[in-house]
Chains A and B, each alone.
Chain A
Amino acid sequence: MDLCYFAVDDGYAEAIIRGLRAGFLNEAQYTQMKSCTSIPELKSFLEETDYQNCLQADQPQIATSLLRQRLKKKLADEFDYIEAQATGTLSKFLFHLRCRFMIDNVVNMIEGLKNKIDIEVLLSNIDPLGWFPEIKNIKVLEGDDYANLYRDVLIDTPIGVYFMKFLDESIENMHENRTMNDIQNLFKEMKPEYIRTSLKKMWLEDFFRYSEENLPQTSKEGLVSLLKFEADFRTIQVIYNSIGNRDLNTVARIQTTRKQLCPTIGTLYPDCERQYLAAAQLEALREAVKGTENYRDLLKDAPDPLKREEFNVSTRTLDDIMYDEECRRYALAFDGQGSYAVFYAYLKLKEQEIRNIVWLAEMISRRLAKNHPGWKKIIIPFSHLRK
């Protein structure tokens, strides 16, 4: 039923997205990019595509980080434009999407400040999609006092909620008679990557719940299936990466950490939770997820994380496999009609495209041989639809 009046409010925004579909680079263009021999050549190639205007003002020998920044700026501009056309539910929905980038930005800032990188450099490197005015105030952070950072700065921001939950959970999980010192230590030891994973997990859960409760039927269906997969992907990733991790050597510890990092949504939760939390080997993980969709097939080709030392560039890692699967799903979702999943898929696919371009730029600037397996490591959006 909601399909009937979808176009009343959101038709224009969707139409813009459909128009932007033409801006995706196609396989032939990727082949041409791969044949570029230098960064200036790549740049002048990109100037013939949709990325023309965002690169024109730069030097031919553009740095990879700047290139990434420019591409992201373009994506952010497009997103801003769509957001400006959106009303009501859609604009809330789009804002939710931004939160993911805000989390990334905040964690990057924290990481950078910890490593004593200049604030100006950090600010110039933030993802324009996740910009919010308070971001520059993160500088107030002293040492590892995340609680204060939250209280002083982040409390007002959209991601404050997640940060608060994260702090609560971290403190809750400690032993009973904790002191201020213990808390300090806890934060000191905490890796920014850990913060990122936890925050993103919370965001994902929140976004999932939001989609389930507030979106029209068609959008809900599309998004819930995408987000479920993403949650499962995250779970599998966490378990996979924690297998054989030396920092988490005790069984109790590994279980609590995993529990904290794995999303409580998706098809794997809660049915397989006990099994995957306890999985100590890849085989056990495979066993744990075998009941759901095609996860068993996906994991079949994944290399054993215990033999991490043997990995090289040509290894098709779990992440590659999962990204590939994700891209396929997003491309399918993009072709769906009258659903907000289109916006989500667009953002994800465009991100993938930027990742591809930056990866190729990296390969080119390192002057790797053309038969290097790394050239094949890009996942072209929409290439799955033809198979």
Chain B
Amino acid sequence: MSLFRSRPMKHYNLVVPRESAWSVMDRLGYLDQLHFVDYDATIPMINRPFANYVKRCDDSLYKITQVETFITKFNKKVIRCTNVPLLLEQFTRNLQSRDKAPHTFFDEIEQDIEQKRISLMDLINNFENLEEKLQNYNEQLQVLKSCQRFIFQGFRESADQIEDRSQPGRMKLNNIIGVIDKDDEIRFRRLIFRVTKGNIWLDIFDLDPNDALQKKLDNNVLRAIFVIVYPGIEEQSLIKLKLGRIVDTFSKTKFDLPKATGEYQKKILDIENVIMETRNLIALSRQQIESQIEQLIIKSVTECSLIEELRLYVVREKYLYQNLNFLRMQGSIFSGHFWLPEGEFDNVEQALRNLNSKQDFIPTGQITEVVLPKHMKPPTYFKLNIFTGVFQEIVNTYGIPRYQEVNPALFAIITFPFIFGVMFADIAHGFLMFLCGMYVIIFHKTEAPDSLFKMLAPGRYLIALMGFFAFYNGFIYNDFLSIPLNLFGSCYDLVEKVVDGKTEEKWEGPREGCVYPFGLDPVWLASSTALTFINSYKMKLSVIIGVAHMLVGILMKGVNSLFFKNYIDFFCEFIPQFLFMICAFGWMDFMIIFKWLTSFTPQDAPGLIPTMIDQTLSPLAEPKAPLFEDPIQQRNWSFMLLCIAFVCVPWMLWPKVFLLSKKSKPYDKVDDIDEERLQQDQHKLFGKSEIDLDENQEINRLLIKHHSGHSVQSSANHEEHDFSELFVHQIIETIEFVLGGISNTASYLRLWALSLAHGQLAEVFYNMFLAGNIGTGGVVAGFMTAIFYYTFAMMTFGVLMVMDSMECFLHALRLHWVEFQNKFFKADGYLFVNFSYQKALTESAQQEQ
């Protein structure tokens, strides 16, 4: 019964010498069964013995991410790991094939990664430099070509004038040509204008963006050529200096135009040549990079890329060190505690012994069982599978079960889909949902990874079960898309009668001895009082289901208190609570069923609600419309049950408070004994280390203080305080239970309400879209029906199958979390986190995918 209660845990102490700490932890990582306890969670990670290693692993991971970004930049894909066990095997093989100590393998890997990163980065830097250079040359070429087009004439003139300064009256011109970012153009224009006050000629035009080389590898920035022509050719003129400064702040690329025509052509040719060369170089270096990347991503024996293998090794290493950090360093040994499920000890021991025989030169760790310190609660561990996992998840979302307490997930496996089914009851809808669940169950492996069905995969069994129960309850309510099905032949007959000259059709029956075998007789649903009948029927069913559900919850409280040997709770809480529930609402259920099973004439039929009210308000009066044949008997019964229920209230309230406050007195004594025992245990364990002992004593002292409060100082005062606290607490508990009994029962009426809403919606869709159009006939009606059928199907899918199922799910969740679980579920446990490579690597690999 591993799902009923969490697995029993044992607390062990692990002592390993420093030299073999790595190997021991490594071995334990394969076992998947240990939960390491952090010896002091307040110590920041940075102050722990292996913080440095964790940091190194992080660095390596960061480097790997860098390499991976390079890889994606070149449109290559890393093959992610899907077969973790195979990979782990490969790791072990790799480690065993080396003759050095296994923990040094990480050093090699670290260097390997660094070297790979650097070599790749060098190549890529080189590549990018080349591209930049190419871009630069290309810009130069474009500048030359476009400038040739329109200012060449003027330039030659100005060049001539340098030699001939004697000619007065002609403006002497100089120029600056360069390339800037297109985005800067307006600012550039404005600045130039403001500085020169418009005394220059400036033209800016775009570089051809369609030029293949214009596109840079990563950023596709538009560039533009500017040409400034300004007066004055002196080297030191103010305007030249100013312009120079401005141009410097905008771009680093300025070009000088050759002065003579011949040079011009030659330069263009030169640059074209250089561009050709650079292109070849780029192609070459691209090839080089790609071949390097190819090596990194090639699929190896472990069905994933080399780089992924490296990454997961580092992840593994980091995980190991993180867990090693939970141990405490004492000189040359590490000691720490871990939890282990009962019965697994032999496996662990065996594993360590194997390690010992393989490497006989180092001592391996020692494991001893430790008596559980009082303040420590063991973790909650269930062995789950894909089927139970989802139900456990529903419970865990509310709260992790306390160690070894009854796990509500076990009941949820049936009650959750069933309660959902009561609300979602419809043969067709339920069946569709069941089909959907079955589809995912069968095909979830072959679905595409981004398929919607894949998303449903974790809850596939839940969906199938919910569908099944909705289907089943649909039969009970006899509801098929709001149409009652006459599957077994109704017990009523349609009779034609002539009344006052008109023929009337009337249902007559039921036939003598005829019982509709399963679910509701369809004729009920066709009658004019269908809704009234159905409502009362569903309401009563909901209350019956609700009370049964809650009674199970209360019973589990009893089971829990017996299991934990908490007899005060058993006798002072469980029993009165159970009696109260039975006497108040059990009696109501009984009356409902009793009324169903007895036939009354319509006049005599007792109303259940008036009966309930009367028997509470005037318990001794004879019932007006008796349910039992003998009204006195009924009165006696109801009076007795009422009395029991009333007695239960103070029973819940008082005895527990008194017993507990009495019990709290001898606390100090108990703890003294405990302390002694604890100390003895610790002597055994930490015999050598005095410091440790002191610390433990400190903890014990604190604990005892905590338990006994400040009783030493003022015990009378303290007691009173304690008593009143207990009393207030118990009052709250009692009130909550009694009022909760009523309100929770009422809360189960949502089973009826949701089912009513579902049924009515289905009916509206059916009447609006289908029923009205089927009868018309003719070709037009055929078309109309096609269109309306489509609308009907979409509405049914969208509103009922998606939205309403969501709503029913939420209400089922609420009924479990609140109405059921508040009866017994403490939910203050914490999860068992096993130290498992398998888990760590799978998570990491999935995250990357």
Name A's B-contacting residues (CB within 8 A): 32, 41, 44-45, 47-48, 56-57, 133-134, 136-137, 139-140, 151-153, 155-156
The 10 closest A-B pairs by CB, nearest first: A137-B249, A136-B249, A139-B249, A152-B194, A140-B245, A152-B195, A45-B46, A56-B62, A32-B44, A44-B55
Q: How many A-B residue pairs have CB under 8 A?
A: 41
Please indicate which of the listed interface residues A133, A140, A155 has the most CB atoms of chain B within 10 Å of its own CB.
A140
Output the least CB separation between A311 and chain B (Å).
36
Identify 17 new A-B residue pairs, CB closer than 8 A, beyond the known A56-B62, A137-B191.
A32-B44, A41-B46, A44-B55, A48-B44, A48-B46, A57-B62, A133-B187, A137-B246, A137-B250, A140-B195, A140-B242, A140-B245, A140-B246, A151-B194, A152-B194, A153-B191, A156-B187
A to B CB contacts below 8 Å, 18 in the list: A32-B44, A41-B46, A45-B44, A56-B62, A57-B62, A134-B187, A137-B187, A137-B246, A140-B191, A140-B195, A140-B242, A140-B249, A151-B194, A152-B194, A152-B195, A153-B191, A155-B194, A156-B187
Neighbouring A residues of B51 by C-beta, 8 Å? 44
> Shortest beta-carbon distance, A83 to chain B, in Å?
19
C-alpha spacing A133/B184, complex, angstroms: 9
- Chain B contact residues: helix, strand, loop or mixed: helix
Q: Verify B44–A152 contact, CB threshold 8 A.
A: no
Given A32-B44, A41-B46, A48-B44, is A139 in contact with B248 using a C-beta cutoff of 8 Å? yes
- CA distance in complex: A323, B62 (Å): 38
Chain A residues with CB below 8 A from B184, complex form = 133
CA A47 to CA B245, docked complex, whole Å: 42
Q: Is B45 an interface residue (CB 8 A)?
A: yes
Complex interface: chain A residues within 8 A of B45 (CB) = 48
A32 to B48, CA, bound (A): 13
Known: A139-B249, A140-B246. A152 touches B46 (CB 8 A): no
* Residue ID in chain A nearest B46 by CB atoms: A45
| B190 sits at the interface (CB 8 A) | yes
Inter-chain CA distance A134–B186, complex, in Å, is: 12
How long is the Cα–Cα vector from A139 to B191 in the complex, in angstroms?
13
Which partner residue on chain A sits nearest B188 by CB separation? A137
- Tell me, in angstroms, the Cα distance from A151 to B194 when the chains sit together: 7
Give every chain A residue within 8 A of B245 (Cβ-Cβ). 139-140
Query: Contact between A156 and B249 (Cβ–Cβ < 8 Å)?
Result: no
User: How far, in whole Å, are A41 and B45 apart by their CA atoms in the complex?
Assistant: 12
Whole-angstrom CA separation of A266 from B184 in the bound complex: 41
Once the chains are docked, how many angstroms separate the CA of A152 from the CA of B184? Answer: 15
Q: Distance in Å from the Cβ of B788 to the closest Cβ of chain A?
A: 40
Binary interface encoding of chain B residues 51-84 relative to chain A, with 1 for a CB under 8 A from any of its CBs, else 0 = 1000100100010000000000000000000000
Provide the main secondary structure of the chain A interface.
helix
In this complex, how many residues of chain B approach chain A with their Cβ under 8 Å: the count is 19
Minimum distance in angstroms from A133 CB to a CB of chain B: 6
Nearest CB of chain A from residue B432's CB, rounded to whole Å: 38
Report the separation of the CA atoms of residues A130 and B190 in the bound assembly, to the nearest whole angstrom.
Answer: 22
Residue of B55, B187, B190, B249 with most partner-chain A CB within 10 A: B249
A133 to B181, CA, bound (A): 12
A41, A151, A152, A156 pick with most chain B CB within 10 angstroms: A152
Closest residue of chain A to B51, judged by CB? A44
Nearest A residue to B62 by beta-carbon distance? Answer: A56
The interface residues of chain B lying within 8 Å CB-to-CB of A48 are 44-46
**Which chain B residue lies CB-closest to A32?**
B44
Across-interface contacts of A45 in B (CB, < 8 A): 44, 46
Closest residue of B by beta carbon distance from A137: B249
- Residue of A44, A56, A136, A137 ringed by the most chain B CB atoms within 10 A: A137
Nearest CB on A from B325, distance (A)? 13
Q: Which residue of A lies closest to B45 (CB)?
A: A48
**Smallest CB–CB gap between B842 and chain A, Å?**
24
Chain A proximity of B181: nearest CB distance (Å): 10
Kindly supply a per-residue 1/0 record for chain B positions 225-263, scoring 1 wherever the CB is within 8 Å of any chain A CB and 0 otherwise: 000000000000000001001101110000000000000
Residue of B nearest to A138 (CB): B249
**0/1 per residue, B182-203, Cβ < 8 Å to A?**
0010010011001100000000
Q: Which residues of A contact B248 (CB under 8 A)?
A: 139
What separation, in Å, do the CA atoms of A41 and B44 have in the docked complex? 12
Least CB separation from A140: chain B residue: B245
Q: How far is the CB of A243 from chain B (nearest CB, A)?
A: 42
State A345–B184 Cα separation when bound (angstroms): 34
Interface pair A156/B190, CB less than 8 Å apart: yes
Asked whether A44 lies within 8 Å of B46 as measured between CB atoms, the reply is: yes
A162 to chain B minimum Cβ distance, whole angstroms, is 19
Q: How far is the CA of A370 from the CA of B240 in the complex (A)?
A: 58
Residues of B within 8 A of A152 (CB): 191, 194-195
Residues of chain B with a CB closer than 8 A to A153's CB: 191
Binary flags per residue of B37-49, CB closer than 8 Å to A gives 1, else 0: 0000000111000
The residue in chain A whose Cβ has the minimal distance to the Cβ of B184 is A133
Give bound CA distance, A44 to B46, whole Å.
Answer: 8
The complex places the Cα of A152 from the Cα of B194 at a distance, in Å, of: 6
Instruction: Give, as a whole number of angstroms, the nearest-CB distance from B128 to chain A.
Output: 17
CB distance from B509 to the nearest CB of A (A): 62
Bound form: Cα–Cα A57–B44 in Å:
22
**In the assembled complex, how far is the CB of residue B15 from the closest CB belonging to chain A, in whole angstroms?**
29
A137 to B242 CA separation, bound complex (whole angstroms):
11
In the complex, chain A residues whose CB is within 8 Å of the CB of B242: 140
Complex alpha-carbon distance, A44 and B58, angstroms: 11
Q: How far is the CB of A33 from chain B (nearest CB, A)?
A: 10
Contacts of A156 in B (CB 8 A): 187, 190
The CA-CA distance from A57 to B46 in the complex, in Å, is 19
B381 CB to closest chain A CB (Å) equals: 29
How far apart sit A44 and B52, CA to CA, in the bound complex (Å)?
10
Give the docked Cα–Cα distance between A155 and B194 (Å): 10
Q: How far is the CA of A88 from the CA of B246 in the complex (A)?
A: 35
Q: Which residues of A contact B195 (CB under 8 A)?
A: 140, 152
CB distance from A25 to the nearest CB of B (A): 12
Residues of B within 8 A of A32 (CB): 44, 46
Instruction: With CB as the reference atom, state the residue of chain B lying closest to A136.
Output: B249
- Shortest CB–CB separation between residue A272 and chain B, in angstroms? 43
A41 to B194, CA, bound (A): 52
Kindly list chain A residues whose C-beta atoms are within 8 Å of the C-beta of B62. 56-57
CA of A137 to CA of B180 in the docked complex: distance in angstroms? 14
Closest A residue by C-beta to B242: A140
- Residue of B at shortest CB range from A35? B47
A134 surroundings in chain B (CB, below 8 A): 187
Complex Cα gap A345–B46 (Å): 31
Q: Which of B159-209 contact A (CB under 8 A)?
A: 184, 187, 190-191, 194-195
Residues of B within 8 A of A155 (CB): 194
- Complex Cα–Cα for A58 and B248 (A): 30
Q: Bound complex: CA of A99 vs CA of B249, how far in Å? A: 22
A21 to chain B, nearest CB (A): 21
- Provide the bound-state CA to CA distance between A57 and B63, in Å: 9
Q: B391-414 interface mask toward A, CB cutoff 8 Å, 1 = contact, 0 = none?
A: 000000000000000000000000
Smallest beta-carbon distance A72→chain B, Å: 22
User: Could you say which residues of chain A place their CB within 8 Å of the CB of B250?
Assistant: 137
B393 to chain A, nearest CB (A): 26
With A and B bound together, what is the CA distance between A84 and B190 in angstroms? 28
Closest residue of A by beta carbon distance from B248:
A139
When chains A and B are docked, how far (Å) is the Cα of A56 from the Cα of B51?
Answer: 16
| Contact partners of B190 in chain A: CB under 8 A | 156
- Chain A residues lying within 8 Å of B44, measured Cβ to Cβ, are 32, 45, 48
B61 closest partner in A (C-beta): A56
In whole angstroms, what is the CA distance A48 to B58 when docked? 11
Q: Which residue of A lies closest to B186 (CB)?
A: A156
Residue on B nearest A56 in the bound complex, by CB: B62
> Which residues of chain B (77-131) have a CB below 8 Å from chain A?
none
Measured CA separation A45–B46 after assembly (Å):
7
Chain B residues closer than 8 Å to A136, beta-carbon distance: 249
B152 to chain A, nearest CB (A): 31
